[in-house]
A and B are shown apart, each in its own frame.
Chain A
């Protein structure tokens, strides 16, 4: 099974990946999980940096030994795999556009299969709700703005994006797009410069931005009797007309 790598997000020191499988039924999103961690207390151990060194979004990987994982809504895309084998080729621009278009919001349905709950700034689903955890939304560039703050003692600032989302209005979502953040970190030496780089990269993408939105793994802090929450996050930003890595 071949997968086009689409989402490459940060999760501590590891990376969380998701991709698109093109088959006879169209485009299907999968979240490959390493089968080595099948018995770990949490599913999302992630992929280590050395496994992805030199790789790129839109690159095609063969998924070895794929096996569907037990359903844990909203993360119904989970797939155990033995390994990812690079095919050493990239998806065509036409395929990239096809993937972004096919993973958009479905008419008349909540974006994630269940209505999102909102707080003042963010949005979430409870664990167990929803039917998918990743979507693409095309937004005007003007409706997106980046910001960041640092909690003292943390090594990295918390980057966030203000996005104006249909029916939800302005939301402030954590930015997890590894490539975008890496570019900003390499080209900017401080917070202001990095935010400027993020906004400049966005400008380079044109007027229409395909934003990949994802729901985090269930997060619980404190009260175990309350349902865990899956936060809405900004996983990726692409030019809608010319999606590059």
Chain B
């Protein structure tokens, strides 16, 4: 029997058992959902399957045309939309051959990629600037009215960074200066400034403020890029596209979530506690400049607005901003996207995952990097993330992890997932 059909039948039986509906009859590929499940049961079934596929029930429903006939028909619709449970992915790859370069098995509609040697640019240097102030988990647990050890156990966050009275804009500028110094470049040589942030210290004019503080040339183009936690890789995509013309692009990621999200008992406060403040900068150059330059070999971006509900910013009754995370579904989707992104980068560049020197990973929480290592069958030390000791640094998480990791020579995959839902990955080579 087709492996995907068998998988769906297995999940159908599980859902029926869980809901106390197991009447002993064994469903078959031609079993209709009308006979097997009621409306609630079908929704349960969709959630189970969607979670395993790293997607949302809405994506599966859309693939099925919002009409559920038999199990075999659903499998056919999922296959046509390249939706597979992780467990089945590898088997599918073996039997069906590789997927096309523009999609990954468990992801969704709009994946974009570039992979062309002529486009290779260099990450000339990276520098991070972390706040002086650290908030230990014990302080956060008290603010959340949670018992001692709660945040450490649930999110593997031992402490987080917060700006307090430091100026995040100045910190961001400092990271830019340090980055330029490492690349032995002068501010006036920078032709493009890309600034990314999901919790910007200035709500408007951030790129211009940094342009001024860095004393860039007046004609240097400066603008801001969204993309939340994937903002750094989105900026990198743009820098790569523009590098042949602009030559030197400085990217700065700066985050100040502690200025917006308040710590308080309840889900919004607990989501806030996951995030930390930081700034980091990377210089992207058309040529190999600086002692530590590494080539950017490949880059892919993806988005799925249907999954945007997993991370939402809402206005709280008090008028402040509250972050809503759909914890389990989000973690599952993030893990799947990041895993599949690394696999996809490895596959199309002919590099086996175990041969990667490391993974620079965005850590939505401190547990995610370890889970990613487990999914990819890598040692924990091969996945680099600062989240356990800084909190989730949003768009700054990748450059901070990269600049603080004990790197090994060889190709490195970068991967992140952010609000939207967006995901992104990059592959860099040895210096």
Measured CB to CB, the residues of A under 8 A from B are 119-122, 140, 142, 145, 147-154, 157-158, 160, 162, 164, 169-170, 172, 174, 191, 220-223, 226-227, 229, 231
Tell me whether A151 and B61 are in contact (CB under 8 A).
no
Alpha-carbon gap, A221 to B21, bound state (A): 5
Q: Is B88 an interface residue (CB 8 A)?
A: no
B70 CB contacts on chain A under 8 angstroms: 152
Nearest A residue to B18 by beta-carbon distance? A119
- Nearest CB in chain A: distance from B289 CB, A: 48
Docked Cα-Cα span, A172 to B43, in Å, equals: 8
Residues of B within 8 A of A147 (CB): 58, 61
Contact with A along B193-211 (1 / 0, CB 8 A): 0000000000000000000
The answer to whether A229 and B20 have CB atoms under 8 Å apart is: yes
Decide: A151 near B66, CB < 8 A? Known: A119-B19, A120-B44, A164-B324.
Answer: no
Task: Show 18 residue pairs from A and B whose CB-CB distance is below 8 angstroms, ordered by the A residue.
Answer: A119-B19, A120-B44, A121-B43, A147-B58, A149-B42, A151-B32, A151-B42, A151-B68, A152-B67, A152-B68, A153-B32, A157-B66, A164-B324, A169-B326, A222-B20, A222-B21, A222-B22, A223-B21
Cβ of A174 and Cβ of B18 under 8 Å apart? Answer: no
Chain B hits for A157, CB < 8 A: 66
A84 to B68, CA, bound (A): 40
Decide: B326 and A160 in contact? CB cutoff 8 A. no
CB distance from A145 to the nearest CB of B (A): 8
A229 pairs with B19, CB closer than 8 A = yes
Residue pair B69, A223 in contact (C-beta under 8 Å):
no
Contact A174 B39 (CB under 8 A): yes
Q: A220 to chain B: which residues have CB within 8 Å?
A: 20
B-chain residues with CB within 8 Å of residue A191 when the two chains form the complex: 66
Q: When the two chains form their complex, are residues A226 and B20 in contact, meaning their CB atoms are under 8 A apart?
A: yes
**Chain B contacts for A145, CB-based, 8 A:** 309
What is the CA–CA distance of A86 and B310 in the complex, to the nearest angstrom?
46
B23: Cβ under 8 A from any A Cβ: yes
B28 interface contact, C-beta 8 A: no
Given A223-B23, A229-B19, A229-B20, A142-B314 contact (CB < 8 Å):
yes
B20 and A221 within 8 A (CB):
yes
Complex: chain A residue closest to B326, CB-CB: A170
Residues of chain B with a CB closer than 8 A to A154's CB: 34
> Measured between alpha carbons, how far is A120 from B328 in the docked complex, in Å?
10
CB contacts between A and B, total, < 8 Å: 88
Residues 68-108 of chain B: 1 if any A CB is under 8 Å from the residue's CB, otherwise 0?
11100000000000000000000000000000000000000
Closest B residue by C-beta to A219: B38
- Nearest chain-B residue to A232 (Cβ)? B40
- Residues on B with C-beta less than 8 A from A121 are 40, 43-44, 46-47, 57
Assess whether A222 is in contact with B43, with CB atoms less than 8 Å apart.
Answer: no
| B40 interface neighbour in A122, A152, A223, A226, Cβ under 8 Å | A122
State A154–B36 Cα separation when bound (angstroms): 13
> A-B pairs with the 9 shortest C-beta distances?
A158-B39, A222-B23, A152-B69, A120-B47, A226-B20, A221-B21, A151-B34, A153-B34, A121-B43
- Which residue of the partner chain B has the closest CB to A162? B309
A162 to B57, CA, bound (A): 12
C-alpha spacing A229/B57, complex, angstroms:
23
Residue of B nearest to A229 (CB): B20
B195 → chain A, closest Cβ, in Å? 29
> Besides A151-B39, A152-B67, A153-B32, 7 other CB < 8 A contacts?
A121-B44, A121-B47, A147-B58, A149-B67, A152-B33, A172-B57, A222-B16
Contact yes or no, B51 A150, CB < 8 A: no
Contacts of B58 in A (CB 8 A): 147
Enumerate chain B residues within 8 angstroms of A221, measured Cβ to Cβ. Answer: 19-21, 23, 38
Whether B371 sits at the interface, judged by CB under 8 Å, is no
Kindly name the residue among A120, A153, A154, A162 whose own CB sees the greatest number of chain B CB atoms within 10 A.
Answer: A120
Q: How far is the CB of A215 from chain B (nearest CB, A)?
A: 12
Query: B48 within 8 Å of A by Cβ?
Result: yes
Per the bound structure, the CA–CA distance linking A36 and B44 in Å amounts to 37
The answer to whether residues A160 and B19 also contact, given A121-B44, A147-B58, A152-B68 and a CB cut-off of 8 A, is no
For the complex, what is the distance from the CA of A191 to the CA of B65, rounded to whole Å?
10
A66 to B314 alpha-carbon distance, docked (Å): 47
User: Across the interface, which residues of A come within 8 angstroms of B46, CB to CB?
Assistant: 121
Tell me how far the C-beta of A207 lies from the nearest C-beta in chain B, rounded to whole angstroms.
10
**For residue B33, which residues in chain A have a CB less than 8 angstroms away from its CB?**
151-152
Closest CB in chain B relative to A23 CB, distance in Å: 34
Q: How many whole Å from A127's CB to the nearest CB in chain B?
A: 12
Contact status of A152 and B34, CB under 8 A, knowing A222-B20, A229-B20: yes
Nearest CB of chain B from residue A44's CB, rounded to whole Å: 16
Assuming the contacts A149-B68, A221-B21, asked whether A158 and B44 have C-beta atoms less than 8 A apart, the reply is no
- A226 cross-chain contacts in B, Cβ below 8 A: 20
A121 to B38, CA, bound (A): 13
- From A119, A140, A226, name the one whose CB has the most chain B CB atoms within 10 angstroms: A119
Give Cα A191 to B131, complex, Å.
Answer: 52
A222: B residues at CB distance < 8 A: 16, 20-24
Residues of A within 8 A of B309 (CB): 145, 162, 170
Q: Give the shortest distance, in Å, between B321 (CB) and chain A (any CB).
A: 13
A146 to chain B, nearest CB (A): 12
